[in-house]
Structure 1
Amino acid sequence: MTQQHFDVVIAGGAAIGSAAAYFLTADAGFSGSVAVIEADASYQFCATALSAASIRHQFSTPENIRMSLFGTQFLRRFSQNMAVDGDCPDPAFHEGGYLFLASASGLQTLHNNHQLQSSLGADIALLNPAQLQTRYPWLNTSDLAGGALGLSGEGWLDAYGMMQGMRRKAIAQGASYLHNKVTGLDHTAGHVTAVRLADGERIHCGALINAAGTGATALAATVDIDLPVHARKRSVFYVQCPQPLPGCPMVIDPSGAYFRPEGQGFIMGISPPADQDPDATDFDVQHALFDEVLWPTLAARVPAFEALRCGRSWAGHYDMNLFDQNLILGLHPAMDNLYFANGLSGHGMQQAPAIGRALSELIITGKFQTLDLSRLGWERILHHQPMIEHNIV
């Protein structure tokens, strides 16, 4: 068995892990070595590749809004900043906007969120039912009290391309990517000394980032830390509709169902009821959820969808923080060099740049520098003080 040492080891090389590797290796104040360990070299099962690949500023907590605002800035400069040897990757970012719809019972929440979002610089417009009907004549507004539309900065992109662009740039800047799986941690006196790999290798580390997605909970358990993150399956359906929907943004129905344009059709999805949402162990598509819930719901919202045809579909896993649906970021008090970035609950890809930057700042300087994300730390978990994010899609 060979032994290696890296100053920073990152368990998980998808969007979060690659963002952290990029920001670490890009920082002039960091001269250490970085190893990213990823079990799925094809990335075909990672949440990033199987997501709806969208970015929004319409959250209900300041930290989520600020992180996604930075995500938009990052995407707008992506091709230039991620260039390697003159090759400029294109994340295909389309600022088509998000449209959150509200019934009468949800209107006050929509207004409250809008006030917070606008105060932080998000470009969101409130629309009344008449304005919604004028702007989107294909939309059934009979039961709506209003909507909030992202005028700029929100939209969708090539999430896989974004992840691969960060990965390639991190490698060009000196990061090492290893095809393996972290199965356990060696530790002593509250300090991780090495990671154990599936092939029997052991890599010593100065710091460890747990960016293992749905595998993060099992990894945390090897050092007796209870991470409240569980895998939840979310199915995405690609459909075609005979009638065009001009100007269609990413639409979030009051039911939680969503749809947005994708190529010549649309993708759509909805979360299953809480009592039908167990820990995910497979990638089987929830076809009954489409037939019995999603299609009828969206056909009522968009009458043209009554004639839709479902083509391909797929399922991915959210790393859902069951405590409060928010990211858990930073050191755990039981371990002085184990950094967590887990529980994104479906918005990891869009916030990966901000999280990668934050992890880099914590490791290099010991504190947050650009965004104060301290409320997302372990303290709220350990003291049973949830910070609820209401806009989970």
Structure 2
Amino acid sequence: MAKYDVIIIGGAIMGASLAYYLRKEGFAGPIALIERDPQFTHSATTLSAASIRQQFSIAENIRLSRFTLDLFRRLKEEFGDEADIGFREGGYLILASEEGLPVLKSNHDVQLAEGADIALEDAEALMRRFPWLSSEGIAAGAYGVSGEGWFDAHAYLSLFRKALRGMKVDFVTASVAAIERQGDEVTSVTLDTGERLEAGIVVNAAGPNAGKVAALAGIELPVEPRKRNVFVFEARERYGDMPLLVDPSGIYVRPEGSVYITGGAEDEAGEQAADPADFEPDWGLFENEIWPVLATRIPAFEAIKMTRAWVGHYDYNVLDQNAVIGPHPQVANFIFANGFSGHGLQQAPAVGKALAELIVHGAYRTLDCSVFSYRRIAEGRPFRELNVI
């Protein structure tokens, strides 16, 4: 039976980031990175809309994303001269109605306190900045002047995975079938191949599957897969200055090369966990929910043509749509990196760095993630992020 000091369940961006920073922090013990989908065909990492923002309501979430932003800006220094993820710093524009204005202003105060470059402007100022925008039903908007945008998720993940190949990390292609636990300690992981791996520490980085992985260890984690549709459409008009725009309805749109992508039409009220095998787009959402909003917000988009769509699942934290990071309070060698509810891709390097420091040094150093601990889950005490997109 193979023995590993650290077994990471989930080899996409969250697990890969942790393995990378463990080695960067000087961890010399054996590491296994387990991934059931090594081509990442159905991975939340590669099927996301691949964006980064600082517009959160919680300071700690802003800090996590700012860590990754700093990494983006020194990508070649970290990964070599060829490193490129196509980062386009186009900004976010989050719009609010009169009803939503107090929350927008409160969030903006938090963002400014954290050093984020976010401009809060009324509807009139926004229309001067973006003449193609309709201000119907809009009181104001928060615009990321710098430090926000989108990138190539595949290239991003590839940088970490390629770096790990020179860091003596074992890539294991399998699903986890069982986790053995003796009292307040997890001791081994059994794969669907029948192989059993002895574990010093087990890290749950299983994305949308995180709740099921935790259950294998006899631990309740309110994280489940939720289906998110992304639609691609063409339009005659090209707006080179368009940020990622978020309407008060929750529907978003942004440019993607010569086309646009849009989504956010799912109704979270009463929404159920996604079937893990369901990657079929809900085509009716585009015509019935998204198109009318786009045509109202950007009048030129009344005439557009939807060309294709895809579906991704993300790890939705049912309690508070916020991350669960760090060790279980009783089962201390079972560590969570879960429940990011749509912003895990942008925060993965920061979480990897934080957890690596915790494992190697016994404490958080660069980023304190203690507010995201599992304790609030056990106590049923939400720590709610208001800007979930």
**Count of residue correspondences:** 387
In structure 2, the partner of 1:172 is 166
Correspondence list, 1:359-378, <5 A:
359-378=355-374
Q: C-alpha deviations, 1:53-87, integer Å up to 9, x for none?
A: 0000000011111101111001111232123xxx6
Amino acid in the other structure paired with 2:16: S
Q: Distance in 2 between matches of 1:46 and 1:379?
A: 28
Does the alignment pair 1:102 with 2:96?
A: yes
Whole-Å Cα distance in 1 between the matches of residues 290 and 119 of structure 2? 27
Deviation per residue, 1:171-198 (Å, 9 max, x gap): 2122121111112111212111111001
The match for 2:138 among 140, 144, 166 is 144
- In structure 2, distance between residues paired with 1:334 and 1:221: 15
Of 217, 229, 232, the match for 1:223? 217
Alpha carbons 1:136, 1:246 under 8 Å: kept: no
Shift of 1:145: 0.8
For the residue of structure 1 that corresponds to 2:325, the secondary structure is strand
SS in 1 for 2:99: helix
The aligned counterpart of 2:336 is 340
Q: CA deviation at 1:215?
A: 1.4
Shift of 1:88: 2.5
SS at match of 1:310: strand
Q: How does 1:259-278 map to 2 (within 5 A)?
A: 259-275=253-269, 277-278=271-272
CA distance in 2, matches of 1:275, 1:103: 20
1:353 matched to 2:361? The reply is no
Secondary structure of the 1:388 match is coil
**SS of the counterpart of 1:172?**
coil
Q: Deviations over 1:105-158 (max 9, x none)?
A: 111111111111010111101111111111111110132111111011100001
Local SS of the residue matching 2:94: strand
Q: Does 1:58 align with 2:52?
A: no
Counterpart CA distance in 2 for 1:77 and 1:175 is 24
> Which residue of structure 1 lines up, in the alignment, with residue 206 of structure 2?
212
Hey, which bits of structure 1, 4+ residues long, moved more than 2 A?
274-277
The answer for unaligned runs of 5 or more in structure 1 is none
- 2:304 — aligned with what? 308
Partners of 1:60 and 1:389 within 8 A in 2: yes
Question: Could you say which residue in structure 1 is the equivalent of 2:289?
Answer: 293
Q: Does 1:74 align with 2:71?
A: yes
> Which of 37, 56, 67 pairs up with 1:40?
37
Instruction: Provide the residue aligned with 2:17 in structure 1.
Output: 19
- Residue range with higher mean Cα deviation, 17-26 or 333-342: 333-342
Aligned equivalents of 1:277 and 1:383: distance in 2?
A: 23
Superposition deviation, residue 263 in structure 1: 0.8
Residue 83 of structure 2: aligned partner:
89
In 2, distance between residues paired with 1:278 and 1:305? Answer: 31
Stretch moving more, 274-283 or 207-216: 274-283
Matches within 5 A, 1:221-260: 221-260=215-254
The offset of 1:199, in angstroms, is 0.3
The two structures have a TM-score, normalised by structure 2, of: 0.97
Shift of 1:275: 4.2
Partners of 2:74 and 2:11 in 1: CA distance: 22
Distance 2:204 2:40 in 1: 17
Given that 1:127 and 1:148 are in contact with CA atoms closer than 8 Å, whether structure 2 keeps it comes out as yes
Cα RMSD, aligned residues only: 1.1
Name the SS of the counterpart of 2:146 in structure 1.
Answer: coil
